[in-house]
């Protein structure tokens, strides 16, 4: 039986790479639904190729029958075997929750869902008996490592970060950095938001929150380290002082395939690395270079509404930088000053959505 998939964010970087895995495994998967944003031309081509029963497009034209212009949440809730949640940013939360409430299993790329509402999303998954398979490469690595190392033996989870496009740029040049420079990521090809979040390291702070929620680990037991080569994706340190690492090429194909196959390994997904041709370098995270990382972590430690405020504020100011309206250092400065004005509230869905809205 082929697995029926719904892909949210089909026209994005993860969405297109997921469709490539589907293309290479036509006996395993069938596309039931596709959702895109504004890239109507690409969505049309995907619809022609994969012939989904349902699709949704926020930038849809009049050309299509109204019955096919399905709201995202409705599309996500169609009965299927797996929903790939790969919309970027805070917009990913509502359809991810809708999919879980419809008891659809999730392959999760949209980390923002867990940053905004991790407890709510994980509780809904538990209540509805829904599996969440991580697509984020670091979390895929931790997922694999925790299958080998018993939890009670784990002292610390360590996520790696490439350090982004500005890793080696002198700090004195930061005020004049252009969006183009930030979007030239050294090791990964990704969408604009996450590429910017790699340069500020907001992405890694989000991933620490994501890991805490996905694996039910305290935040203090999860840390991050810069690893410029992006070959080691995560490490697990045990109570006796061993460190186990997951190593693979910097390609999302592996974690996407592992999530689509629900943890089963598929022969020859990618070529293994030739270790003799690689360097493995690790560096600490410099607070002067990456202030946003520390602001978001502080918000995570405060809990309640703060992680949602941090995600929404940094997304808002990040978009302003990409639009040429503010400088690169202002993303961190303005996010930190907005967070100073936030009043703590219980992290229920109403407060979370109101917080997100206050930054839109
Ligand atoms: P992209 O920007 O490449 O793609 C985002 C997708 O979401 C596009 O299909 C876009 O549509 C759609 N989209 C954006 N906003 C909306 C909206 N308001 N309503 C409906 N659709 C929308 O992002 P990525 O693929 O890089 O990232 C997706 C998610 O995966 C993010 O949460 C990211 O953090 C995570 N991730 C990505 C990795 C990567 O390698 N790219 C690695 C690990 C995690 P359109 O383009 O048609 O406008
Ligand atoms: Mg990642």
Q: What is the pLDDT along the chain (360 residues), one digit of tens a residue?
A: 899 999 999 999 999 999 999 999 999 999 999 999 989 889 999 999 999 999 998 765 555 555 457 889 999 999 999 999 999 999 999 999 999 999 999 999 999 999 999 999 999 999 999 999 999 999 999 999 999 999 999 999 999 999 999 999 999 999 999 999 999 988 888 999 999 999 999 999 999 999 999 999 999 999 999 999 999 999 999 999 999 999 999 999 999 999 999 999 999 999 999 999 999 999 999 999 999 999 999 999 999 999 999 999 999 999 999 999 999 999 999 999 999 999 999 999 999 999 999 998
Report the pLDDT value the prediction gives residue 88, as an integer from 0 to 100.
96
Looking at residue 186, its pLDDT comes to: 81
Q: At which residue do the structure tokens 């995907």 appear?
A: 46
Assess contact for 105 and 123: CB atoms under 8 A. Answer: no
Calculate how far, in angstroms, residue 184's C-alpha sits from the geometric centre of ligand 1. 17
Residues with Cβ within 8 Å of 129's Cβ and at least 6 positions away in sequence, in order, are 103
Q: For residue 64, which of 78, 52, 76, 81 has the smallest C-alpha distance? A: 52
Structure confidence at residue 356 (pLDDT): 95
- Structure tokens that stand for 235 in this block: 């490490």
Q: Is the CB of 187 under 6 A from ligand 1?
A: no
How far is Cα 122 from Cα 132, in angstroms, rounded to an integer?
9
Which residues partner with 170 through β-bridges? none
Separation of CA 300 and ligand 1 centre (Å): 23
Buried b (16+ CB within 10 A) or exposed e, 259-294: bbbeeeeeeebeeeeeeeeeeeeeeebeeebbbbbe
> What are residue 43's phi and psi, to 5 degrees?
-60, -40
254 alpha carbon, closest ligand = 1
Q: In ligand 1, which atom is closest to the CA atom of 72?
A: 20
DSSP bridge pairs for 55: 34
The 222-226 sheet, strands edge to edge: 222-226, 154-161, 232-238, 243-247
**CB environment 148-172: b (16+ within 10 A), e (fewer):** eeeeeebeebbbbbbbbbbbebeee
Mutate-to-test residue for ligand 1 from 113, 143, 194, highest number of ligand atoms within 8 A of CB: 194
Element (H, E) at 160: strand 154-161
Any atom of ligand 1 within 6 Å of the Cβ of 41: no
Contact indicator for 241, 288 with CB cutoff of 8 Å: no
52 lines ligand 1 (CB under 6 A): no
Please name the residues in contact with 41: beta carbons below 8 A apart, sequence gap of 6 or more.
Answer: none
**93 neighbors 113 (Cβ within 8 angstroms):** yes
Atom 4 (ligand 1) nearest CA:
12
Q: Is the CB of 12 under 6 A from ligand 1?
A: yes
Tokens (6 digits) for 221 = 């037991």
* Class at the top of the CATH hierarchy for domain 3-134: alpha beta
Are the beta carbons of 205 and 219 closer than 8 angstroms? no
User: For the chain, where are the alpha helices, taking DSSP H only?
Assistant: 13-24, 40-50, 72-76, 93-101, 112-127, 137-146, 179-182, 192-200, 202-215, 253-260, 291-302, 306-322, 328-341, 349-358
**pLDDT for 360:** 86
| Pocket perturbation via mutation, ligand 1, pick of 84, 85, 106, 109 by most ligand atoms within 8 A of CB | 109
Q: How far apart are CA 72 and CA 116, in angstroms?
A: 18
CA dist., res. 188 & res. 72, Å (int): 28
Q: How far is CA 200 from the centre of its chain?
A: 15
Question: Which sequence spans correspond to the domains of the chain?
Answer: 3-134, 139-357
């Amino acid at each position: 039986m082929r697995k029926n998939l719904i892909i949210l964010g089909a026209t994005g970087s993860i969405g297109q790479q997921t469709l490539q895995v589907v293309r290479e495994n036509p006996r395993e998967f069938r596309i039931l639904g596709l959702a895109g944003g504004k890239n109507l031309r690409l969505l049309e081509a995907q619809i022609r190729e994969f012939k989904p029963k349902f699709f949704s497009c926020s930038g849809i034209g009049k050309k299509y029958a109204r019955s096919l212009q399905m709201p995202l949440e409705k599309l996500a809730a169609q009965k299927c075997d797996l929903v790939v949640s790969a919309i970027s940013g805070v917009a990913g939360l509502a359809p991810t929750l809708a999919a879980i409430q419809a008891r659809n299993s999730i392959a999760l790329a949209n980390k923002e869902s867990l940053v905004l509402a991790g407890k709510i999303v994980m509780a809904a998954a538990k209540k509805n008996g829904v599996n969440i398979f991580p697509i984020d490469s670091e979390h895929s690595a931790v997922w694999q490592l925790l299958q080998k190392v018993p939890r009670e033996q784990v002292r610390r989870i360590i996520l790696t970060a490439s350090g982004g496009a500005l890793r080696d740029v002198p700090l004195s040049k930061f005020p004049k950095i252009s969006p183009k420079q930030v979007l030239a990521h050294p090791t990964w090809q990704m969408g604009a938001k996450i590429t910017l979040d790699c340069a500020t390291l907001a992405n890694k702070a989000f991933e620490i929150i994501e890991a805490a929620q996905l694996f039910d680990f305290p935040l203090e037991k999860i840390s991050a380290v810069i690893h410029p080569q992006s070959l080691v994706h995560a490490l697990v340190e045990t109570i006796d002082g061993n460190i186990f690492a997951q190593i693979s090429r910097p390609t999302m194909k592996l974690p996407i395939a592992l999530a689509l196959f629900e943890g089963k390994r598929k022969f020859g997904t990618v070529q293994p690395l030739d270790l003799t041709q690689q360097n493995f370098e690790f560096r600490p995270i410099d607070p002067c270079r990456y202030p946003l990382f520390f602001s978001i972590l502080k918000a995570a430690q405060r809990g309640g509404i703060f992680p949602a405020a941090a995600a929404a504020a940094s997304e808002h100011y990040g978009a302003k930088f990409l639009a040429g309206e503010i400088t690169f250092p202002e993303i961190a400065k303005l996010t930190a000053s907005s967070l100073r004005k936030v009043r703590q509230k219980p992290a229920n869905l109403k407060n979370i959505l109101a917080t997100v809205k206050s930054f839109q």
